[in-house]
Amino acid sequence: MRLQHTDTSVQRVSTLLLLGLGMWIILLIAQEHYQDSLPPRTQPGLVVSGKTSAQASDPNQAVPSNTAPENRQHPAFGERIQEREKMVNNQIKLRGVRDPNVLAAMNAVPRHAFVLPQYQAQAYADHPLPIDHNQTISQPYIVAFMTEALTLDPNDRVLEIGTGSGYQAAVCAEIAREVYSVEIIKPLAESAAKRLKALGYGNTHVKAGDGFFGWPEHAPFDAIIGTAAAGRIPPPLLEQLKINGRMILPEEDSQGFQYLILITKQSDGEIRRETILPVRFVPMTGEVEKR
């Protein structure tokens, strides 16, 4: 009797503790999701539980990268490796990104090669950073999260809207066969193309233009990723998505709140859309602003 009573109390206490821990993790994740594209914080303030770490998958299980070792000539690949590993472990794995290909890609791409000289010290920090022309390179976790949502296959052809620094394109190019990326600010498109070429990402293709219209010459795509937010999803992007294709992009509602939307094109051509999480991205400009 007495023993049973103690057992029940222990059970109750553990259930309460687990519930508390669960709510705390949810709050932590929700808070971090709001960070994207916000000004850098001085204190990363990342507190994480070891349990989640043990559950995270092993990056050694990753399939070979699409960027061949002979293309790894650029010295940046050999620099700041420990910071990159720490970024993957503390910011990405612990928040639940599991896809071994995504973890391997985040480990491989030298993020500091995409960051301005004045922000080099923060290149692997847990927040977005300014790039030229008032744009931003996203928080590492958001890049990993969005890439995982695309469930990329080594044979996939990907379209990106908003090349920016080229970092997200490089992460996708580590996993997928070809990455086509469109950037509306011409000097950004030019510098990203140059950077990606210098790093050996021969499977990336950058075009200066309005991503509203996608890249019809190379359509249809297995996956589409948008990294600038608009009030509506450009219809040409839906058209250029393959059957069973996945698209992730931020959408802004009438009150100015942004959410990542995951779109899948069903086998009957129907569009399924899911609202994934609250985010903050720079605005998508050009045609999408005209109503």
Q: Binding ligand SAH by CB under 6 A: which of 141, 180, 212, 215?
A: 212
Is 136 among the residues that bind ligand SAH (CB under 6 A)? yes
Euclidean distance between CA atoms 52 and 37, whole angstroms: 26
The smaller minimum CB distance to ligand SAH, of residues 37 and 65, is found at 37
Distance of CA 22 to the CA centre of its chain: 24
The smaller minimum CB distance to ligand SAH, of residues 56 and 166, is found at 166
Residue position matching structure tokens 């050694």:
60
Half-sphere exposure of 161 toward its Cβ, with a 13 Å CA cutoff?
33
Q: Binding ligand SAH by CB under 6 A: which of 135, 203, 204, 258?
A: 135
Q: Binding ligand SAH by CB under 6 A: which of 87, 105, 146, 188?
A: 188
The smaller minimum CB distance to ligand SAH, of residues 104 and 142, is found at 142
Q: Binding ligand SAH by CB under 6 A: which of 161, 206, 260, 277?
A: 161
Q: Of 16-24, 71-79, 261-269, 282-290, which segment contacts ligand SAH by CB under 6 A?
A: 282-290
**In the annotation, is 53 catalytic?**
no
Euclidean distance between CA atoms 29 and 62, whole angstroms: 25
Is 140 among the residues that bind ligand SAH (CB under 6 A)? no
DSSP assignment letter at 187? H
Is 210 among the residues that bind ligand SAH (CB under 6 A)? yes
Contacts with ligand SAH in 214-243 (CB under 6 A)?
A: 227-228
The 3-state DSSP class for residue 196 equals: helix
Contact (Cβ atoms closer than 8 angstroms) between residue 223 and residue 150:
yes
Residue 251 has which token pair?
């959408």
Is 88 among the residues that bind ligand SAH (CB under 6 A)? no
Beta strands in 36-161 (DSSP E): 129-131, 135-137, 157-161
Euclidean distance between CA atoms 163 and 174, whole angstroms: 16
Is 122 among the residues that bind ligand SAH (CB under 6 A)? no
CA distances from residue 23 to 16, 26, 56, 126, 182 in whole angstroms, order as listed: 11, 5, 20, 22, 39
Is 145 among the residues that bind ligand SAH (CB under 6 A)? no
Query: Site residues (CB under 6 A) for ligand SAH?
Result: 135-138, 161-162, 164-165, 167-168, 182-185, 188, 210-212, 227-228, 282, 284-286
- Catalytic residue positions, numbered: 138
